[in-house]
Amino acid sequence: MSIYDTLNEQQKLGVTTTEGPVLILAGAGSGKTRVLTHRTAYLIEEKGINPYHIMAITFTNKAAGEMRERIDAMVGYGSESIWVSTFHSTCVRILRRHIDRIGYDTNFTIYDADDSKSVMKEICKRLNIDTKIYKERSLLAAISSAKDELIAPDDFALKAAGDFGKRRQAEVYREYQNVLKKNNALDFDDLIVKTVELLRNDAEVLAYYQERFRYIVVDEYQDTNTAQFELIRLLAGKYKNLCVVGDDDQSIYKFRGANIYNILNFEKHFPDAVTIKLEQNYRSTQNILDAANGVIANNVGRKRKSLWTANDRGEQIDFEQFDTAYDEADFVARDIQSGIRNGKFGYGDYAVLYRTNAQSRLFEERFITSNIPYKIVGGVNFYARKEVKDLLAYLKTIDNARDDLAVRRIINVPKRGIGATTLNRVSDYAEDYGISFYDALKQADEIPSLGKAAAKIRPFVTFIQTMRSKLPYLGVSELLREVIEETGYVKELEAEDTEEAQVRIENIDEFISKAVSYEENEEQPSLGGFLEEVALVADIDGLEEGNEYVVLMTLHSAKGLEFPKVYLAGMEDGLFPSYMSIVSDNATEELEEERRLAYVGITRAKKELAITCARQRMIRGETQYNKVSRFVKEIPAELLSGEIRKPSYGESREQKLPVRPKRPAVSRQPSGQSMQAKAFASARTVGGSLDYGVGDRVSHVKFGNGTVTGIVEGGRDFEVTVAFDTAGTKKMFASFAKLKKI
């Protein structure tokens, strides 16, 4: 019996179609890795191709290592000649031999993220760039995006004409590249860009590698960016024996530069391409696949295919709608405990997937109190995240400044120019006089060795003392908001304007929600009590972790994984799909990316899938009233065991999408009335007087269609904020706006 007899017909076609360009559309769980390894073996054993002429490219070292192991096991002798590596490793090997042809030495240095940041710091200083306006991370992100698209500094400058901010970025980009060239260094993006430049400009080198790599296979092709596409196009230019494997329905990394049109337009780039669809799924039940098919079919920008399986139909998808996010987390914890007691699953069989990192908090806290072992995959436990630890350190210092670690953590957050030498001198003084580090800071003017540095310490001490004086008058959440506002912590992150900064802001919002929740559930809330409660749930190091634990992760982190039972949590419009995708100028494409993410989440489940959502959820300390995600409604009703409840009349008026408005100054609301209750009462008042509410779609005679994101009662009239589809966000008085609900 041949090794190829174990393949289904479409898989066999993918293995044996070896000449010319081939696009293998590999649906989730359809066995693409088997096709890749068997194809490589087929080329060598059946077609007589020298392993030296075969190249396999993937994205991660782990994926490349696994592919190498499988190919070695299958092919045996000669397999070591096959070039199996990541895009970056491939380019390093090529550049080490030939980069001297484009003006670099072959012993070039590769700069990591920290090296790049150091270079950017120096450039900003030299060019007098205001890093409060143009954050270093933001500038580096703009340069990286340009390189992904093969946009050189000169081209970037041409496109920036007329836009002062872009012109500033162009100036920095040019200088950044000059510094790297002077230092004979490349950053990670340059590894691809410079290889493309080399192949484009040196016909001899291009001919050598085209001859070397007569058969090329690229895995996860839907995740390639423009620079990676051009690299592959050049290498395959002579023989065109290019086989790309991927799934456009699982293209979810646009924010990292992935260009879905590389896979959607493959036949346009290679007109004689053969397309093979792998639609038989070996992972999931048919009900789960039907749900995934039902959702993804709503995307227009895709290649049509439909997953099917020879597995059982399986159980219906468990849809659960709860009143609050806490109830949602409680259900998941109880359901897991029930499955463990019944012997149905082990802890390692469960995964809880969510759209944003911040959603992990409620599940973590509930799992800790229930003694459920868990692990955050692709992230950090909530209370161990830098931004949360920073704000906790501020609260600890305000409450009781005897925690030297907390004080030292935040004395330079934000930067106050207090150097290590100064801190060591303060520490020595504290030790000499047997006082705490903070008490020594208070006496900075009396420490002779500090000199002028004492002036930098004074504002920090004044701030902490001011916050302490407000303790009798401010609740925990108000105090936290004031710390955030006065330190400019979130403003700095907003100025960064990066994906990482956005995630950190969401975590801060969730920390505010934790503070508000504590106040509402405690008879006599206090800062000390709050810190004590957090300490109890944050002591995750004491959690027993055996070989088995429930996995908590974002949907982006879950790609490529599978679990017997999956919970898709927070399936609400405004959360998933995200509010920003709903109101984006490019809403159609953004929503299609979100829908692909939902498809990825659904297809992680092998045997059982539970979809959960909450009718109200606390975002940034305020209650948001959310509709069930449109993606849930796209699942055929007969596949769901639960029912989507229609909101009552009053509730429909209160529905509110989680928008992030500009942060107002800290309010001084009376203690005893929670912010949640106040927001709820305001929504009821407004909702009863207008024929539209927050979250509703409206039209304006001049600005067109948009979504209402805020309504404020202002005496005789209402101030309405609308995020218009094309005109941006506008504030207006209701009587003049004459908005019509659509």
Catalytic positions: 32-33, 219-220, 250, 604
Closest CA to 605 of 635, 634, 567: 567
Distance CA 394, CA 401 (A): 9
Amino acid at 599: Y
Closest CA to 30 of 8, 15, 60: 8
Tokens of 209: 């590698």
Q: Would you give the DSSP letter of residue 708? A: E
Which is it for strands 704-714 and 728-733: parallel, antiparallel or unpaired?
A: unpaired
- Strand intervals (E) in 254-394: 274-278, 318-324, 350-354, 374-376
Cβ atoms of residues 242 and 232 within 8 Å: yes
**How many CB atoms are closer than 10 A to CB 504?**
23
Distance CA 140, CA 136 (A): 6
Closest CA to 608 of 372, 329, 352, 314: 314
Closest CA to 409 of 427, 393, 386: 393
Query: Burial of 446 by CB count in 10 Å (0-12 exposed, 13-18 middle, 19+ buried)?
Result: exposed
Beta bridge pairs of residue 318: 610
Cis before 414? omega within 30: yes
580: helix, strand or coil? helix
Cis before 636? omega within 30: no
Distance CA 482, CA 479 (A): 5
Distance CA 66, CA 68 (A): 5
Query: Burial of 667 by CB count in 10 Å (0-12 exposed, 13-18 middle, 19+ buried)?
Result: exposed
Left (φ > 0), alpha (ψ -120 to 50) or beta: where does 550 sit? beta
Query: Burial of 660 by CB count in 10 Å (0-12 exposed, 13-18 middle, 19+ buried)?
Result: middle
Tokens of 253: 């990394």
Q: What is the 3-state secondary structure (H, E, C) of 412-437?
A: CCCCCCCCHHHHHHHHHHHHHHCCCH
237: helix, strand or coil? coil
**Residue listed under structure tokens 């539970």:** 610
Closest CA to 566 of 252, 251, 246, 292: 292
395: helix, strand or coil? helix
Closest CA to 169 of 201, 148, 144, 194: 144
Q: Write out the H or E segment, with its range, that includes residue 440.
A: helix 437-442
Query: Burial of 469 by CB count in 10 Å (0-12 exposed, 13-18 middle, 19+ buried)?
Result: exposed
Q: Where are the alpha helices (DSSP H) in 342-403?
A: 360-369, 386-399
